[in-house]
Amino acid sequence: MTIEKLALLVPIYKQAKHWELILKGIESNPSTPGKVYALMDRATDEEYELVKQLSDSSEINIEVIRCPVPPHYLVNRKSSGDPFYVGYIRNYGLDRAIAEGFEQFIFIDGDCIPQSGLFISHSNKLSADLPVLSIGRRREQKFRWKDQREISPEFTHLDIFRTEGMLINNPELITSCVIVWSCNIGLNLTLVKLLKKFNNKYYSREEVFSSEFLGEWGGEDGFLGIQSWYVRAFITTVGEVKCGVQHIDHPRPKDKYTINHKDYFQEQVKRLRVKTKLHPLDIEFFN
């Protein structure tokens, strides 16, 4: 079954070697997206050709896109390593998908293999008329193929991935346990429109993911959860057991994994609280 209104967006930076495994995960799903966007960031010709060849041989509707170079305000920012521009790349792909009429959007990373219930589980959550942010599992070998939030003492008492899903209804839950990883999330079009409006109001940039955070190894959208909370989104975990992604383990060089994501997140939350305190959202904003 194809979920026609659903798009899957996968940024790929130096991860073309994983595409065959990711593609097999997509193809093995009983429910597949209406379209897959393989968003190639600064790809070599060899990387592009590998992903393109594999995609062309699949029955899944896949568009392989060589994304444009990020704008100067990103490229010229200081970074301690070789940065991901995933926030920018995701925004670029999202705008393409919206222009083509899609209404639901799932984002996974280029080192994550979809499990069998990923697409239908998120789609069921995203079908609500409300603005929805859905959050699924990221399974890792080092955590016995579970999500860290299912086994770490600081999280387990919350039972985040309970069967019916968990409503995330306060900033403390968001900062402590939800936006830990961004590699398995879904948004519907209603939320996308609100977030664009919100970021345009407070940051003068109409985007969904924060493009300015140059995470050397991820963390580019750790701010998304608190923004979604501010615009009164329905933030929920996806409880189905097979709704997750299997993370492909790979080394993270210490000289590049330098961003303290939690400190960055807290800093941004404080900034946002000041902004919204000075300029509180009124009810007309949501109309």
Closest by Cα among 15, 46, 189 to 113: 15
Number of domains in the chain: 1
Q: Please check whether residue 250 lies inside any domain of the structure.
A: yes
Q: Please check whether residue 56 lies inside any domain of the structure.
A: yes
Question: Burial code of 224-251, b = ≥16 C-beta within 10 A, e = fewer?
Answer: bbbbbbbbebbbbbbbbeebbbbbbeee
* DSSP letter assigned to residue 125: H
Instruction: Give yes or no for a contact between 182 and 107, defined as CB atoms under 8 angstroms apart.
Output: yes
Q: Please check whether residue 285 lies inside any domain of the structure.
A: no
Rounded Cα gap, residues 157 and 263, in angstroms: 23
Q: Please check whether residue 284 lies inside any domain of the structure.
A: no
In the chain, where do the E strands start and end? Answer: 2-12, 32-40, 62-66, 104-108, 112-114, 132-135, 138-139, 184-188, 234-237, 245-247
96 half-sphere exposure, CB direction, 13 A CA radius: 22
Q: Please check whether residue 155 lies inside any domain of the structure.
A: yes
Instruction: Give yes or no for a contact between 149 and 160, defined as CB atoms under 8 angstroms apart.
Output: yes
Q: Please check whether residue 273 lies inside any domain of the structure.
A: yes
Task: Tell me how far CA of residue 19 lies from CA of 15, 47, 49, 109, in angstroms.
Answer: 7, 10, 12, 11
Closest by Cα among 133, 122, 137 to 187: 133
Rounded Cα gap, residues 163 and 212, in angstroms: 35
Q: Please check whether residue 287 lies inside any domain of the structure.
A: no
For residue 178, give its domain range: 2-279
CATH of the domain at 168: 3.90.550.10
pLDDT, one tens digit for every residue, the chain (287 residues): 999 999 999 999 999 999 999 999 999 999 999 999 999 999 999 999 999 999 999 999 999 999 998 776 666 665 556 677 888 899 999 999 999 999 999 999 999 999 999 999 999 999 999 999 999 998 988 888 888 888 888 888 888 888 888 898 887 787 766 655 568 999 999 999 999 999 898 888 899 988 766 555 555 566 788 788 889 999 999 988 888 999 997 666 555 555 566 666 677 667 777 777 767 777 787 77
Rounded Cα gap, residues 233 and 133, in angstroms: 7
* DSSP letter assigned to residue 265: H
Axis crossing angle, helix 86-99 with helix 189-203, rounded to the nearest 10: 130
Q: Please check whether residue 286 lies inside any domain of the structure.
A: no
User: pLDDT tens digit string along 229-245?
Assistant: 889 999 999 988 888 99
